[in-house]
Homo-oligomer: A and B are copies of this chain.
Amino acid sequence: MSTILGQNQYGKAESRVVRITRDGRTHHIKDLNVSVALSGDMADVHHSGSNTHVLPTDTTKNTVYAFAKEHGIESAEQFGIHLARHFVTSQEPIHRARVRIEEYAWERIDTCDGESWSGTAERPRHSFVRSGQETRLAQITFDGESWEVVSGLTDLTVLNSTNSEFWGYTKDRYTTLREAYDRVLATDVSARWRYRWSGDEPGEDIPVPDWDESYAQTRRHILRTFAETYSLSLQQTLYQMGTSVIENRGEIEEIRFSLPNKHHFLVDLEPFGLKNDHEVYFAADRPYGLIEATVLRDGAEPRIPVDLTRLR
C-alpha cells in the first residue's frame, strides 16, 4: 500500500466525574472532566480492524470512575498520574498515555451569615455553589519512563481600566488606528505551564510539586502581575506575567499564554454633544487581537505546543 500510518491516539474524551468525600457532616467535592488518549502498537486496528490490542474507550472511562473510588482525587495532577501509569504499565501494547483534565471549582454556600448554628449536631456542610471563574487544566503524559505534567487555566477574564497605552507602532498603507494613551486592557487568560518534575521513581532529585499550592500561587502571580503592570502593549504584560511565574515558582520550567485582546472601544459621543472622558466603552466580540508567547526559564527546552487553541 502506498500509505503509512502516522501518529495516532485514541481513548474516551470528557468523562465527567464528581467525587464526594464525607468528613463527618462536612463534605468535599472534586468535579473533573477527564480525557484519555492512548498510543502504542496500534497498526493492526487501523489496517485490518483487528481490535486485539485495543482496550475499549469504554474501559478507559470505567477506569476513571473506578480510580476515583480506589485512589480518590487528591489533585487533578495526581489523579492523572495514577491513570496514565495504569494504562501504560498494565497493557503491553500501550506505550504512552496522555490524560487531560479540566477541573471546575465549587465554593461552599455559607448558610451562617455570621450567625451561630443552633442545631444540636455539627452544622451540615454539604452545599456548594459553582465558582464560574477560570477552569483549571492539567495534562499528564507518561511513556513508561518519564513524565510530563503541563498544568494551566483558561477563561480567567481580567480587565484594567487604566494604566494601558498603545502607540509608537509601525504604520503602513493600511494603518488607520489612532494611538492610545489611556485605554482599557482586557483579556481572557489562557495559560499552560510545564513542570520540571519528570519522574516519580525513587532516587529522583526533583521533588513532586504540591500541585494545588503551585496552581494557587501561579494563578496569584498571573493576576497580580496583570494588575500591577503599567502596560505599553499586551505582549509586555504577557512577558511580565510569565517572568513573574518563572522567577517565583522554581518548579515551573516554561509557561505559554494565549491572550485575546478583548477590545473595549471608547464610544464616540461627540455627535450627541457629550464628552467621553474614558467612561463609556463598547465591548466588541470579533475580531480580536490574539497575542501568544512562551516564557522559559533560561536553559529550559520549549515543549508546550504553540497553539493552545484549536487549529480551526
- Taking the closest CB of chain B, its distance from the CB of A269, in whole angstroms, is 6
Count this chain's copies in the assembly. Answer: 4
Does A211 sit within 8 A of B, measured CB to CB?
A: no
Q: Is the interface on chain A under 10, 10 to 19, 20 to 34, or 35 or more residues?
A: 35 or more
Mark out the residues of chain A between 111 and 159 whose CB falls within 8 Å of any chain B CB in the assembled complex.
111, 113, 124, 126-135, 137, 139, 150, 152, 154-159
Question: A67: shortest Cβ distance to chain B, in Å?
Answer: 9
A214 close to chain B: CB less than 8 A = no
Chain B residues near A19 (CB-CB < 8 A): 279-281
Q: Are A176 and B281 in contact (CB under 8 A)?
A: no
List the B side residues contacting A37 at CB < 8 Å. 290, 292
Residue pair A306, B224 in contact (C-beta under 8 Å): no
Q: Can you identify 29 A-B contacts, CB atoms within 8 angstroms?
A: A2-B297, A5-B293, A7-B302, A8-B235, A9-B293, A12-B288, A13-B260, A14-B287, A16-B286, A17-B283, A20-B281, A27-B162, A29-B161, A37-B290, A42-B235, A49-B235, A52-B168, A54-B170, A57-B290, A58-B177, A58-B289, A66-B272, A126-B161, A129-B156, A131-B133, A137-B312, A190-B312, A285-B285, A305-B305
